[in-house]
Structure 1
Amino acid sequence: MKALQGVEGQVKWLEEPSPTCDAGQIRIRVAAAGLNRADLLQRAGLYPPPPGASQVLGLECSGIVSQVGPGSSWQVGDRVCALLAGGGMAEEVVVDARHALAVPEGLSLVEAAAVPEVYSTAWLNLFQLAGLRPGEKVLLHAGASGVGSAAIQLCKAFGSPCWVSVGSEERLAYCQSLGAQGGVVRTEGIDALGAFGPFDVILDPVGANYAANNLKLLNLDGRWVLIGLMGGRNAQLDLAQVLAKRVQLLGSTLRSRDDQFKAQLLSELNQHVWPLFTEGRLSPQLAKTFPVEQAEAAFNELADNNVSGKLVLLIDKTLV
Structure 2
Amino acid sequence: MHVFVTGASGWIGSPVVGELLAAGHEVTGLARSDASAAALERAGAAVRRGDLDDLDGIRAGAETAEAVIHLANKHDWSDPAASNAAERAAVQTIADALAGSGRPFLLASGVAGLGRGGRPATEADASPAHGPDSPRGGSENLALEYVDRGVHTVSLRFSPTVHGTGDHGFIASIAAVAREKGVSGYPGDGANRWAAVHRDDAARMVALGLEKAPAGSRLHAVAEEGVTTRAIAEAIGRAFDLPVASIAPDDVEGHFGWIGAFFGQDLSASSAATRELLDWTPTGPTLVEDIDAGAYAAG
TM-score interval, smaller chain = 0.3 to 0.5
TM-score by length of 1: 0.35
Greater percentage in helix: 2
Greater percentage in strand: 1
TM-score by length of 2: 0.37
